[in-house]
Structure 1
């Protein structure tokens, strides 16, 4: 084998490796977008469920209007959110407001016994579980993608093709603590 053939073979091997790196970035970016879509669907399901939940609680004469108003405001903030940061903030706000709403239900046995309220609460619990799973999956792909952006030699391909870091979708620390303190609700 001649020197020219060896050089050509090395160039082809390096080019092939760079294509593999580029395709890995494309695959991760596509996975991030798909997993974000899953989060968006769960958030929409949650936002769609809230008006029915609020209407059920409003049916009781002794409800606390301030708690319901916070839930409604949090829902609207979520619907209006555009960026990941805004959606995360809105999701955190809703989690806190719903926690207060469910704590309110503990104080009103008639509301707690309402089958519609219990059904909505069960459905919301299911959505929260799906949202948590979607968030974990999204954050795992973002972690892998962001790692590749800084790893050698991938970082050169990332810079050349303008791949930029993605943001995680996380709970605020204060909301995470509030979620831990939420009253346990047995179904």
Structure 2
């Protein structure tokens, strides 16, 4: 009777351990997915502002077709990607494509004085700050998920559920691509 009791207790403890590990793995996956939704929301909001930016620049400075074409192509590429791995690279290209618009604003006085452009710049800056905060939280959630997924018993349990790998959402490490380019010349913003 004692041997059977020990075996039953060990089986119950093993079942509790596996259940707890499964729930922890599922919770970590859920947290990473939830913070990705927040990032995706901000990215979509930025894409909407890029569309407004494109329309504003086309209306005021149609001569800069090359810069606009790069910005339109970058935005379309962002809309076409499907995986988070591809999304980070496409978003870096989108932010880099905004920079030539700053040059267009400096060359075209009417564009630089546009209140719509100043509003877009302020909103892009706010979105970039929110994205940085969400990115930090998301990457922390992914780190926890990957840790639980990579160690026992998670490394065994992940084969029985939908516990696919989640990517980190990294940005380029250069300061130029971390910030939103200034869209309006300093004199236009002071007015």
Q: 1:182 to 1:131 in 2, by over 3 A?
A: closer
Unpaired segments ≥5 residues, structure 1: none
For this pair of structures, how many residues does the alignment match? 185
The Cα shift of 1:109 comes to 4.5
Match of 1:179 in 2: 177
Match of 2:158 in 1: 158
Q: How far apart are the structure 2 equivalents of 1:129 and 1:40?
A: 14
Aligned: 1:148 with 2:157: no
Taking only aligned residues, the RMSD between alpha carbons, in angstroms, comes to: 2.5
Alignment of 1:78-157 (within 5 A): 78-157=78-157
Alignment of 1:4-83 (within 5 A): 4-61=4-61, 63-83=63-83
The Cα shift of 1:81 comes to 1.3
The Cα shift of 1:61 comes to 4.0
The Cα shift of 1:3 comes to 2.9
Q: How far apart are the structure 1 equivalents of 2:46 and 2:144?
A: 28
Q: How far apart are the structure 2 equivalents of 1:61 and 1:161?
A: 53
Stretch deviating more after TM superposition (131-140 or 89-98): 131-140
Listed one character per residue, the Cα deviations across residues 63-92 of structure 1 (whole Å, up to 9, x for unaligned) are 522111111111111111111122122101
Q: 1:182 to 1:88 in 2, by over 3 A?
A: closer
Runs of at least 4 residues off by over 4 Å: 180-187
Structure 2 length normalisation: TM-score?
0.83
Structure 1 length normalisation: TM-score?
0.85
